[in-house]
Structure 1
Amino acid sequence: MTFSIVARLGEAYGVAVASKFLAVGAVVPGARIGVGAVATQSWARVAYIPELLARLEAGEPADSALESVTAMDPGGATRQVGVVGRESVATFTGDECIPWCGGVARSSDDGESAYAIQGNILVGPEVVDEMERAWLASAGSTLPQRLLAALVAGDAAGGDSRGRQSAAIYAVEPGAGYDRSGVAADLRVDDHADPVTELSRLLDEWEMYFGRPEGVQPLEGELAAEVGRLLERLGHAPAAGEGAAGVEAALAAWAGEVNYEARLAPGGIDRRVLQALRETAGAPPS
């Protein structure tokens, strides 16, 4: 009923999943900073998430942990699970999962990343194949972006043979997210005609609100003057006579109003904040 990717990229762990099932994000994904990530699906056993994360935290390899929990489970033959830890990765598809079903689990040669991709009731193995290609092709992007790229590719390849309904992404990384609490992405589309596309839109919004500053330009000279003019249009005129410091203070006030404060950069302006400011104030494209 589901296709997913569980992955590690450096110190980041996460899961992306889609299904013809209501609120798949409430069932399948789990991750813990410094430990690993788990996706439990098919006839999902949600208890696998804390059980497997506890085993990973204790130092047990992913394949051994997965073998142990499924062997002790009377319904193990109906389960499908992907697990990634600090130095290990594994996927499991029980003999009673509904075809097409299967998965792959691999680590990069340099040890910097690992992924497990799995699915059941899919249109065919091409879903997993395309997800793997997309993951590999997206090298250089953040973990949430790479997870999403794989999910988009699986969806485009046909995904769940019964159709579409929900999708989710959950990722953790030290210092990421709102107040740098470590949640790099936590998004769910619970019931939608095109959930993966909607999830893509939401991840872009998430990164705008909670992402780190990027492409920062010094707030000085003509740029500072432009930013000051744009802020004045929006009712946040910089204090007279304070120069760039006044512009920066006015920018902070506006950013707090529209919830972009996570992207504030001392002495400069984030690329995406500048774009949003220009669009909101009605400035022509630069």
Structure 2
Amino acid sequence: MKKLYFLLCLLIPLIGNSQSVENVSKDAFAHTFSIVARDTVTGEMAVGVQSHWFSVGSLVSWGKAGVGVVATQSFVNPAYGPEGLEMMANGTSAEQALTQLIEKDGGRAFRQVAFLDANGNVSGYTGEKCVEAAEDLQGRNFSVQANMMLNDRVVPAMAEAFLRYSDYPLAERVVEVLKAAQEVGGDIRGKQSAALVVVGPERTENEWEEKKIDLRVDDHQNPIQELSRLLQVNRAYEHMNKGDLAVEDGDMEKALKEYGAAEKMFPENLEMKYWKAVALANSGRLEEAKPIFQKVFAEDENWKEMTTRLPASGILTVSEEELQEIIE
């Protein structure tokens, strides 16, 4: 907080009107690099961000399924997130929405913002008082932006990476963009936090369905590396969730396939091993399942106790005799 106050004291003499001082002095400090992007095949939209500031994802990244995504940074005005999304939801294009919000913002000289709407329209803005190196660059279905960077190679490197990894799923593609920014210098202060949000192409009435991916690394020595790891975990648990749904539907072959895919990604994960064993047992392949159960029980006996509770819920569909074979 002392650092922020000191920086604001330095900035105040440079600001032309008192309204800007009042506005900016109340705002969060999040100098960073980010990307907003859309996948032309799936229609998914994403925001990726990294900064040497705690919990950058709590203010910078915003998204709404079927509407768009927003990155608001530098001296952050969080209102650009919800207000921008509401405007785009009501049919205003990304460019028009951003222009209108900038025009009424007394602290716009210190803002850096990017909007992307569901039609792939993008718009970026970098205020004249953003700390060097500061720039934004737009391309087809994406905008990359950065401020307080070590050098002016960061933004071009991000744009190049987005084009280079065009065959990647959107979330992985965005992570590669963040990696590229860091590799050429990144934030002049270093690294601390990162975030990734992905929303779908269709609007939803259920709030819990808004974000397909919502990952945050609030404080870490290598936040982009950790974000990449979490994304892989997320992908594995997508398979786990599909496996659970297959179990509910009584489709044990599909469940086995999904649990097996998850286990391949994280072979030491007990959860993934265990549910693969359950799917095998439910498919009548008890002899294949038993050694997997035993490996899991050897690591943590609580899994054995849980196994005794599953038949009552219908999740494990074995006879009492077969259950005893499993837990012996």
Alignment TM-score, normalising by the size of structure 1: 0.72
Shift of residue 58, structure 1, vs aligned partner: 1.4
Shift of residue 18, structure 1, vs aligned partner: 0.3
Cα 1:67–1:208 change in 2 (3 A) is same
Contact kept, 8 Å, 1:35 with 1:56, in 2: the verdict is: yes
Does 2:151 align with 1:118?
A: no
Identity of aligned residues (%): 35
Alignment TM-score, normalising by the size of structure 2: 0.63
- The structure richer in helix per residue is 2
Shift of residue 160, structure 1, vs aligned partner: 0.4
Query: Secondary structure of 1:202's match?
Result: helix
Equivalences for residues 125-140 of structure 1 within 5 A: 125-140=152-167
Aligned equivalents of 1:188, 1:4: Cα separation in 2 = 14
**Match for residue 9 of structure 1 among 39, 50, 56:** 39
Q: Which runs of 5+ in 2 are unaligned?
A: 1-30, 203-207, 243-251, 261-272, 294-302, 304-328
Cα 1:52–1:191 change in 2 (3 A) is same
Tell me the alpha carbon deviations over residues 73-124 of structure 1, each in whole angstroms, 9 at most, x when there is no partner.
Answer: 11111100011002310110011111100111121xxxxxx00100000012
What residue identity is the alignment partner of 1:246? Answer: G
Query: Secondary structure of 1:123's match?
Result: coil
Structure 1 counterpart of 2:123: 90
Structure 2 counterpart of 1:141: 168
Q: Which runs of 5+ in 1 are unaligned?
A: 108-113, 258-286
- Count of residue pairs brought into register by the alignment: 229
Shift of residue 181, structure 1, vs aligned partner: 2.8
Cα 1:161–1:236 change in 2 (3 A) is same
What residue identity is the alignment partner of 1:164? Answer: K
Q: Give 4+ residue runs of structure 1 displaced > 3 Å after superposition.
A: 234-239
Shift of residue 193, structure 1, vs aligned partner: 1.1
Structure 2 counterpart of 1:246: 284
Shift of residue 236, structure 1, vs aligned partner: 5.0
Does 2:211 align with 1:183?
A: yes
Aligned equivalents of 2:209, 2:279: Cα separation in 1 = 33
Aligned equivalents of 2:277, 2:181: Cα separation in 1 = 46
Q: Which has the higher contact order (CA 8 A, sep 6+)?
A: 1
Q: Mean Cα displacement is larger for which, 148-157 or 30-39?
A: 148-157
Aligned equivalents of 1:247, 1:36: Cα separation in 2 = 47
Contact kept, 8 Å, 1:82 with 1:92, in 2: the verdict is: yes
Structure 2 counterpart of 1:171: 198
**Match for residue 192 of structure 1 among 198, 220, 244:** 220
Aligned equivalents of 1:187, 1:74: Cα separation in 2 = 32
Tell me the alpha carbon deviations over residues 174-224 of structure 1, each in whole angstroms, 9 at most, x when there is no partner.
Answer: 59xxxx9352211111111111111111111111102587xxxx969xx9x
**Match for residue 75 of structure 1 among 93, 97, 107:** 107
- The structure richer in strand per residue is 1
What residue identity is the alignment partner of 2:167? Answer: G
Query: Secondary structure of 2:124's match?
Result: strand
Query: Secondary structure of 1:130's match?
Result: helix
Query: Secondary structure of 2:284's match?
Result: helix
Cα 1:237–1:117 change in 2 (3 A) is closer
Aligned equivalents of 2:152, 2:130: Cα separation in 1 = 14
Aligned equivalents of 2:238, 2:70: Cα separation in 1 = 24
Equivalences for residues 266-285 of structure 1 within 5 A: none
Shift of residue 66, structure 1, vs aligned partner: 0.8
Structure number with bigger Rg? 2
Aligned equivalents of 2:218, 2:131: Cα separation in 1 = 23
Equivalences for residues 255-266 of structure 1 within 5 A: none
Aligned equivalents of 2:96, 2:201: Cα separation in 1 = 26
Aligned equivalents of 2:220, 2:161: Cα separation in 1 = 23
Contact kept, 8 Å, 2:110 with 2:128, in 1: the verdict is: yes
Structure 2 counterpart of 1:159: 186
